[in-house]
A = this chain, B = another copy of it.
Amino acid sequence: MKKRGGGQGGTTAPGGGQDARRGNAAKMPARPCAARRAGGGTVKITDVAEAAGVAPMTVSRVLNTPDRVSTATLARVRDAIAALGYVPNLIAGGLSSRRSRMVAAVVPTIAHPMFADMIRHFSTLLRAANYQVMLLISGYEEGAEAPLVQSVLTRRPDALLMTGADHAPATRALLQGAGIPVVEIWDVSPRPFDMQVGFDHAEVGAAVAAYFRAQGFQRFLSLPAGDRRARQRGEGFSAAVRAAGLELLEPPAELPAPSTITAGREALRAMLPRLAFPGAARTALFCSSDLLAFGAITEARLAGLGVPAQLAVCGFGDFEISRASAPPFSTVTVDGAAIGRLAAEALLARLGGTDAAEGQGPAIGQGVAMGGPRVKVPFHIIHRGTT
């Protein structure tokens, strides 16, 4: 008992052209949500099969492995798909094939340009290989990760991207149990869970300290945001300063995570007494993010502190503001896009490569040999006016 009420037409078939004809288009223009009930549910693969005069399996092949279908059948089936407005049900397909064609990505925030960039590139590469990306925002709270991972595993992602390399035991247990490829980004650790694409945050701090020292600074200050990796960068900086036996100012109370301009301003204001007294030595300031750095610079100039004459500032992240504000300020750049790309490539390699008919396989990035568990992405200090 099949009676098709009002067919929906005119969807764009993947890889196909527009289908001009639309048999019996919707009669009543309005009623946005009524379409489904009347005819007896949504159109499914058997409806298409029937309309095209083939078996359901053939329709499935048209959708998934079109090169295994004769051209004539292909055309007939595609016509039927377009005519009926068939949208495949990946829930059913996923249950059957045990592949969800979905990759979950857990990030602390999407507000930071670096993560936004990374995500964009990660998604683009995966989409090209016919995977959808499900984005999960974990925030910076401890303990928020495990429930989030648990809830997403419920959808049986084919792979997982995690931010950071330290996870609660509960999270590790979940990942373990899931048995899917996992890539950790944005950090590297001696004990990767599976694959990693990132860099050593303490090294960044040490490098900035070295950079300042090379310019003869004797007095240093670190302003790290309240998240783990920001603290690592700050600690790398401070450790290097201490190791050199140079003066390290004590920062004010802990800053928030994620960082803000305002937090940078307030922190600098709190430090002012120790930076601006008569005869004070030049101080070299390392902020764990460009937002903090911009805030610090803003406040310093308002207080009449010369930048970089009395206070040199280096940020982190190479956000647009670091190069587009006046003065542009020095910062550390990490190629977020590359991290996204490399993470996607690592996952795809494990998933068996692209599964769509893409002309271009996943190129191995930047001469780095993927296949190992761990890729370190370089960072660079960008010298601008403030140091």
Interface residues of A (CB under 8 A from B): 1-2, 4, 7-17, 19, 21-22, 25-26, 29, 31-37, 42, 85, 87-92, 94-95, 100, 102, 109-111, 113, 116, 119-120, 123, 132, 134-135, 137, 146-147, 150-156, 169-170, 172-182, 188, 190-194, 196, 199-200, 203-204, 206-207, 210, 260-262, 265, 291, 294-295, 298, 301-302, 320-321, 323-326, 368-369, 371-380
Chain B residues positioned under 8 Å from A302 (CB to CB): 326
Chain B residues positioned under 8 Å from A13 (CB to CB): 199-200, 203, 376-379
Q: How many angstroms between the C-alpha atoms of A295 and B328 in the bound complex? A: 12
Other than the known A8-B174, A13-B379, A17-B376, what 12 A-B pairs have Cβ atoms closer than 8 Å? A9-B374, A10-B169, A10-B173, A14-B147, A14-B150, A15-B200, A19-B200, A32-B193, A32-B194, A87-B154, A89-B95, A111-B111
Q: Tell me which of A34, A154, A176, A194 has the highest count of chain B C-beta atoms within 10 A of its own C-beta.
A: A176
- What are the 3 closest A-B residue pairs judged by CB atoms, nearest first? A35-B177, A36-B179, A9-B374
Q: Tell me which of A87, A113, A146 has the highest count of chain B C-beta atoms within 10 A of its own C-beta.
A: A87
Of B16, B194, B380, which contacts A206 at CB under 8 A?
Answer: B16
**Once the chains bind, are A260 and B320 in contact (CB under 8 Å)?**
yes
Give the nearest-CB partner of A262 in chain B. Answer: B324
**Once the chains bind, are B110 and A190 in contact (CB under 8 Å)?**
no
**Once the chains bind, are B32 and A169 in contact (CB under 8 Å)?**
yes
**Once the chains bind, are A175 and B25 in contact (CB under 8 Å)?**
no
What's the nearest-Cβ distance from chain B to residue A112, in Å?
A: 9
What's the nearest-Cβ distance from chain B to residue A15, in Å?
A: 4
Chain B residues positioned under 8 Å from A11 (CB to CB): 146, 150, 170, 173-174, 177, 368, 375-378
Q: Tell me which of A25, A32, A301 has the highest count of chain B C-beta atoms within 10 A of its own C-beta.
A: A32
Q: How many angstroms between the C-alpha atoms of A194 and B147 in the bound complex? A: 33
